A and B are shown apart, each in its own frame.
Chain A
Amino acid sequence: MRIKTGRIIKVIGFLLAAFFLWLLVRDTLVMKRDDGITSMKIYYEQPENSVDVLFAGSSHSSYNIAAEELWNRYGISFYQLWGSSQPMWNTYHFLIEAFKTQQPKVVMLDVYGALMEEEYSDEARQATNTLGLKLSRNMLENIMVSAPKERWGELFLGLPIYHDRFSELAKDDFIYYPWSRDSVDEKGSFAIYGTHDNVNFTPADTEERLPLSVKQETWLRKIIALCGERNIPLVLMVTPTVDCAAEQGYYNTISDICAETGTPFLNMNRIPEVEILPSDISYDDSHLNMTGARKTGAYLAEYLHSHYELPDHRGEEQYSSWESYAQKRAAGYLRLLETPREMAEEIRLQNYSVLLVRYGNSSGREHALNDLVNQELPKQEGAWLIENDALAEVSLSPEGAANVYDTDISISFSDRSFAINLTVDPVWKDEGVIAAVYDRTHRQWIDAVYIPADAEEPMEHLEFRTRPV
């Protein structure tokens, strides 16, 4: 058999083409799950050596901490790199990946994921905690420790798991490529709104020690060693959690490991200064809502500022994405919201005024919005409805309701929505309400939405034609 050089080159060329195509297909088809996959993909977009504080661990390290408080208060750059119920072995490999491009000045490790006793996470979390990583030895090792042998192949190749997503591809599936920087002003944070009505939030006061599983403890110690080897200060933390009495025994064990290794440990369940109230727990009752997250964010900002030398990056060009991120968060959590209910909840929590006007299809939405924001501002926060050129206050409490134009339109905050009930005039096809939100603290209009009368239709965020002041 004589092998020709030209053919070898052709074969190699073909294999390379197939390989790059595979990487492209992989990035397109992989599930764009926030809980592990996109948090890693967006991390890759961050400017090199720009993250000073790296939050790692389970969803608690994201949902439970409004980390923009770090930026707002002290100009500290940060990233929340997390995965759903992420066990310590995944966190370890996430950190290995993170340290390839960043040299954080502090790693804040949420240890909630260390409580899981099973050898492996469930199959879905095996995927979300591995599929976001770039192809590398670290990715392979992450897979090998995350799943039984039979799953290694499909997790490594990825396509066996998610190839069928071709039938549901959407805009978001085409933005996470190695060359993309579209999401650089995302920092891994997520927000939940609402309050659980009947939550059992009982900070525990037990000295009992419950053992971690051998696997969890091994990988936790590996994380401590890894940060030690790289001279990266590590802080282990527990964010405020519901029913923490059941978990406190494990946290006591972790506290012992921290004492043994000289690692700081912040158990925010036992730090009264955080001032978490039962009303700060979200609907899903395992995370904090935005009010709670802002409290932990503020506490951690103060803690980090007072314990570590972290530079203030405000005004620096390389850190502009944190500025835009903080602005986006401050000026419009609302923009992230998808339902009128979440919006009403956020408005209720903040020093905002809302102006509402009924909208039909007689004029463009932008025109209606412009007219709206040129109205005289109400003197207090809350929601105000423009009725016959006058303002009528609308309660945003669950019982609140207001009638406008006699019985033609009513707005209420019900379980289902920040509801707009209209007696629809058949001539008006595009019935609904336009709401513009004014931030009284920062004295600016921050968001506007069109809320259709038909509750089946989605709420739509509107752009101000010219930014009103």
Chain B
Amino acid sequence: MSYTGAPFLLVFLPILLVIYWLFYRRPVVQNAVLLTGSFVFYASFSKRYVLVLLAGILFSWFGGKQIAKNRRALIPFVIINLLPLLFFKYGKTMLGMWYLLMPVGLSFYSLQSTSYLFDIANGKTQPENNLIDYALYVSFFPTIVSGPIQKSYQFLPDIRSSKSITYRDAVSGCLIFLYGAFLKMVIADRIALFTSPVFEYYSGYEGAVVLTAAVLYSIEIYCDFFGYTCMVSGIARLFGYRLRDNFRQPYFAVSISDFWKRWHMSLTSWLTEYIYFPLGGNRKGTARKYINILIIFIVSALWHGTGLQFAVWGLLHGFYRIVEELTASLRTRLWKKLGVDTSRHGWTLLRRIWIFALVTIAWVFFRAKDVPSAAGFLAQMFHSFNVHVFFDGTLFQLTLDEIHFRVVILAIIAMGVVSHFREQGTRAEDVLEEALPVRWALILILLFAVLIAGVYGPSYNAANFIYANF
């Protein structure tokens, strides 16, 4: 079941919502209903992997109790808890088990259950006695596919609490879901029609086309993952849950460290809290701090994928971060000497473009099938760089014709406007303060933009989320 498919939206979700809210103010029953729904949802991907999930839940639940008694049990339990992830992730490449298919969401729920073990060891949470609540914490269906990764000391109390839903919650939940669907189906999936063949056969394209594909891929991956995040946040809100932000306008970042405070915040936070800090963070000298930064990015890269290209992607970001820190004071002095007023909007815009360019280069490695392909792709950008493709219609003769490009551009502009308001602190609920006709018009435009301009239907498979593969 895909979050954007008719079986989910027209059957599964409405039925589950009705049953769930029938037991209003009875959180024990509500949690049991939600857990059942989560397992039904998960089983729709593959019934076989439900067993892996179940084993993971039972093992980490038991592990939590043992760690509470003896903190030294943490390391073995964490290692064993992560073994299925390592097995499925690396079994295919390192053990030659090509037939292995990684269970959906394993990367996410493994980190989530591991966070529970760490939190017990650190005294941030108590072992959960109620297995249903704990199982729901690990398998909560909106987040099991691609996160956001929840920390036990934040999410378990949410699960235990009594839920309520207001009219505003319901409408804002639907609005957030719709906005996510817009990002995913109108922007990301349409861009993918262009970027996929260019990344696959880059040597056959003009440099300007390859550059366009690189830039568009940066937007695609953001819209894909943020779109997914919005959808699951919207769904969670309909069940009375408020998920924490996972993205905060990452392409508005003015530095790499700023970027990582805005991109996939739940993973960054997990890595920081459970790896960076235990390694000493920035408390053990400058050299150790940089090593720790590199370790964090290498772990992040390994978590994302097994190929060397992911390692290069992680190392690039580590390199960016270290160079950024090393040159910080130098740059400050340089700008001062040159009389650059760094408080101006223009300067901020320049910095944003610069960071976007750096991140885009790194995304090329993330997207390419291997390192030589990524290098070839980047080299191709400078090969026969003919800007005429933007003017003589060549660009529109590839996989996206002119009208589809216009849709992409319009949609990106709309997203930019929304991002601007989000950056100013506007939230989905604020739309509900608008006059009724404005409110309805906004929601209907969004709904029909998705229905008409979204990429879906028999000839497409819009069900694949990029991050579901990690």
Contacts and interface: CB of A to CB of B under 8 A. Distances in A.
A25 B452 contact: yes
B452 A159 contact: yes
Nearest to A169: B403
Contacts of A160: 6, 456-458
A225 interface: no
Interface stretch (A13-21, A106-114, A455-463): A13-21
A161 B457 contact: yes
B451 A163 contact: yes
Nearest to B441: A17
Contact of B452 (A1, A4, A163): A163
A157 B451 CA distance: 10
Nearest to A166: B452
B308 interface: no
Contact of B458 (A25, A161, A167): A161
Contacts of B454: 163
Interface string B17-49: 000010010000000000000000000000000
Contacts of A17: 440, 444
Interface of B: 6-7, 10, 21, 24, 164-165, 167, 401, 403-404, 407, 436, 440, 443-444, 447-448, 451-459
Nearest to A168: B403
A400 interface: no
A27 B456 CA distance: 19
A157 B444 contact: no
A164 B193 CA distance: 14
Contacts of B164: 1
B457 A14 contact: no
B434 to A, nearest CB: 13
20 contacts: A1-B24, A1-B165, A7-B167, A17-B440, A18-B447, A25-B448, A25-B451, A123-B458, A153-B7, A154-B457, A159-B452, A159-B457, A163-B451, A163-B452, A163-B456, A163-B457, A164-B459, A167-B401, A167-B404, A167-B407
Contacts of B447: 18
A131 interface: no
Contact of B10 (A22, A153, A159, A161): A153
Contacts, number: 54
Which 6 A-B residue pairings sit nearest by Cβ, starting from the closest?
A: A160-B457, A167-B403, A153-B6, A166-B452, A163-B452, A159-B451
Contacts of B436: 10
Contacts of B167: 4, 7
Given A7-B167, A157-B6, A167-B403, A18 B457 contact: no
A383 interface: no
Interface string A25-50: 10001000000000000000000000
Contacts of B448: 21-22, 25
A388 to B, nearest CB: 46
A154 B458 contact: yes
A21 B10 contact: no
Best-surrounded residue of A4, A21, A154, A163 (most CB of chain B within 10 A)? A163
A148 B172 CA distance: 37
A1 B163 CA distance: 11
A29 B444 CA distance: 17
Interface in A31-80: none
Contacts of B451: 22, 25, 159, 163
Interface in A142-170: 153-154, 157, 159-161, 163-164, 166-167
A21 B445 CA distance: 10
Contacts of A29: 452
Nearest to B443: A14
B166 to A, nearest CB: 8
